[in-house]
Every structure is written in C-alpha cells, then in structure tokens.
Amino acid sequence: MEIQNVILRGSFNPTVSSVQTRKARLFTKLAVPFLSEIGFPKWVSMKCDCSFHSDTKRNLQRCRNRAQKAECKGISDVEEDKPKAKIRRKNLAVFVSGGGSNFRSIHEATLNGSVHGDIVVLVTNKHDCGGAEYACCKGIPVIVFPTRKDKEDVFSAEDLVIALKSLKVDFILLAGYLKLIPAALIRAYPKAILNIHPSLLPAFGGKGYYGMKVHKAVIASGARYSGPTIHYVDEQYDTGCILAQRVVPVLAKDTAEELAARVLHEEHKLYVEVSAALCEERITWREDGVPLIQSKENPNNYR
Ligand SMILES: Nc1nc2c(c(=O)[nH]1)N[C@@H](CN(C=O)c1ccc(C(=O)N[C@@H](CCC(=O)O)C(=O)O)cc1)CN2
Ligand SMILES: NCC(=O)N[C@@H]1O[C@H](COP(=O)([O-])[O-])[C@@H](O)[C@H]1O
C-alpha cells in the first residue's frame, strides 16, 4: 500500500516551478536510495515542494556516514564530529502542529552541540504549518499524522510506529502538537515521549487547554505565577509524570500575548536543557516514580 501522507520535505505543490521540480527530483533520487538503505520502508511516497538545499546533501551524507560507522563499530559508541564520553548520539522525533519555535530551538541545539542528538523526522497533523516548512528547508523528513479524515489511504498509529522504529528514533518530543498521542505509540516508546505545556501543571492542563487558551485561563484565574512544564506523555492529556518546570511572574496588566511570550522564552531554554539531559542519559527515576534530571556540572545534584 503506497502511503500518500509520508511527505519528505514539504507537501506536493502542482504550481512548483520547473527549477524546483528538477531539484525535488534530485532530492528524490538522492533520498530514496539513502532512506531505503537505512531500511526506511519503501512505501514512502516522495512529494516535495521546497527548493533543494545544499545542506540537505551534507545532512544525508552525514547520516549515511554515521549509519555506516554504526555498522562497522556497533551502535554503542559511534561518534560523529565531537566524540562524547562513550554515550551514543540519540535520534529524536519532534511532533508539532504550528510555528515550531521549540522545534527550531532544539534543532539549532543539535547543530551547535548543546544537544547530543539529531532530529531525524518531524511529525505533524498540519502539512503546511511553520514547523513543516522549517523541516523542509533543513532537509528533515516530514510525516503527516493523523491523516485528514477524507483521505482514503489511512496512515495508522501502527504505521507511524513502524516508520519511527525504521528511523531508529530513541525519543519523541511533542512541541505544540495538538492531537492525542495514541496508546500504540505510547506502548512502543515507554518513558520516551515528552511534551511541553505552557502552564505549571497540574493547573490549567487537559482537554481544551492549549495555546492561548491556557494563558487566558491563567490570567483570568488571578494566578501570580505561571511557566512551562515538561512531562512524560501518558494516555490522557497532560497527566504524565512531571520532569521539569520553570516559573515566570504573571504581571497585573499582562495580556495573554505578553504572558505567552514570557513563558515561550523559558520554554525554549527548558526544552533544550531537558533534551540535552535526555540524550546524555542524565534522567533517573526516584523510587516513588518521579523522574529527576542529574546535574551536568555536579552529578551529585538532581532537580
Ligand atoms: N496521549 C497524550 N497526547 C498528547 C498529550 C498528552 O499529554 N498525552 N499532550 C498534548 C499537548 N497538549 C498539552 O500539552 C494538548 C494538546 C491539545 C489539547 C486539546 O484539547 N486538543 C483538542 C483539539 C485541538 C485541535 O485539533 O486544534 C481536542 O482534543 O479536542 C489539549 C492538550 C499532545 N498530545
Ligand atoms: N497544550 C499544548 C500547548 O499548548 N503547547 C504549547 O504550544 C506552543 C507551541 O509553540 P511553538 O510551535 O512555537 O513551539 C508552546 O507554547 C507550547 O507550550
């Protein structure tokens, strides 16, 4: 069954210029053998509308080098440019539905060495969102999930698990993804799916609490503090184990937009810190089931 909705580097656009079409064909020629080589299912359909970026070739070559190194050295301590202390570089999947500013900050952190990992795929329910556009321009494959209801070719949760396992994804980071993650995916990635929420959970979380709705509710409540929460994902919205939080003040005359901007600024820093801890294997679990982050500077300190 050909899967129509696995889109690499953006959705197909019939108005694409002839130059872009030629470039898209070049990417298809380049990517399919590579993706097939690393075992990415051959039923991937190739639809692109972004102009070909030279860094795509470098990215794919870098991944190919790492894949080949992994073959000959064993997965454990394959290192790319900067060897880290025997910790395997992790593969990340990021899920978005909107602009993707958290996605971008994590991606930049993987490129500048702050996060010891690579974003190998973006998953979104909105093929034309800002996050998908950014992924397209950076040569990051995009999977659309869930498919729109009117699509005859349904790409199931099980198909998504196959695709993510094919890409050897270690961790899934939700960053503004607005759909419920299905149980099949949660079972396939135990203690490996995180979400960032723009309030101090458990307050102002759950179904209906997303985006500006959260900040409006915080202001209307008279709360004096808010801030981002990063938590593990379970089968309900926002009820998983809390891993990290940051606090920001709610000012007397704050608009929802002003509060949102203050919280988002902290989100970007917090998600990079947490992603770094995840990829460096600095997450431990307390006996009562609370996850802790081991300090990089002082391994005897946890938060
Ligand atoms: N199984 C889980 N899936 C998801 C979780 C989770 O904790 N467990 N977190 C959400 C992210 N999120 C808050 O952080 C969240 C996202 C969306 C909603 C919501 O009410 N969505 C609406 C639909 C909105 C839309 O389609 O535009 C709804 O379900 O009616 C609440 C919280 C990601 N997935
Ligand atoms: N309940 C989920 C939720 O509201 N998530 C929020 O969506 C925004 C996505 O921004 P981004 O796309 O710029 O990263 C972020 O503020 C994130 O906390």
Give the contacts of 37 (CB within 8 A, at least 6 positions apart): 64, 67
Band (pLDDT 50/70/90 cuts) for residue 84 is low
Structure tokens given for 206: 């759950």
Determine the Cα–Cα distance for residues 45 and 245; give it in Å rounded to an integer: 40
Give pLDDT tens digits for 4-42.
445 544 333 333 334 333 443 443 344 434 444 444 443
Neighbour-count burial for 82-99, b at 16+ CB within 10 Å, e otherwise: eeeeeebbbbbbbbbbbb
Q: In testing the pocket of ligand 2, which one of 174, 230, 259, 267 has its CB within 8 Å of the most ligand atoms?
A: 267
Structure tokens given for 113: 């060495």
pTM value is 0.81
pLDDT > 80? residue 213: yes
Whole-complex ipTM: 0.98
Nearest to 202 by CA among 176, 240, 171, 234: 240
**Which pLDDT score is estimated for 6?**
58
**Which pLDDT score is estimated for 54?**
42
Active site (catalytic) residues: 197
Q: Give distance in angstroms: CA of 123 to centre of ligand 2.
A: 15
Determine if ligand 2 sits within 6 Å of the CB of residue 96.
yes
Give pLDDT tens digits for 128-166.
999 999 999 999 999 999 987 777 778 899 999 999 999
Q: Measure the CA angle with vertex 221, ends 219 and 224; round to 5°.
A: 65
Band (pLDDT 50/70/90 cuts) for residue 257 is very high
**Which pLDDT score is estimated for 150?**
74
Tell me the domains of the chain and their CATH numbers: 87-293 (3.40.50.170)
Tell me, what DSSP letter sits at residue 212?
H
pLDDT > 80? residue 172: yes
Give pLDDT tens digits for 51-72.
434 444 454 455 445 444 444 4
Q: Give distance in angstroms: CA of 198 to centre of ligand 2.
A: 7
- For residue 32, report the phi and psi dihedrals to the nearest 5 degrees: -60, -50
Give the contacts of 198 (CB within 8 A, at least 6 positions apart): 211, 214, 215, 226, 228, 260, 263, 264, 267
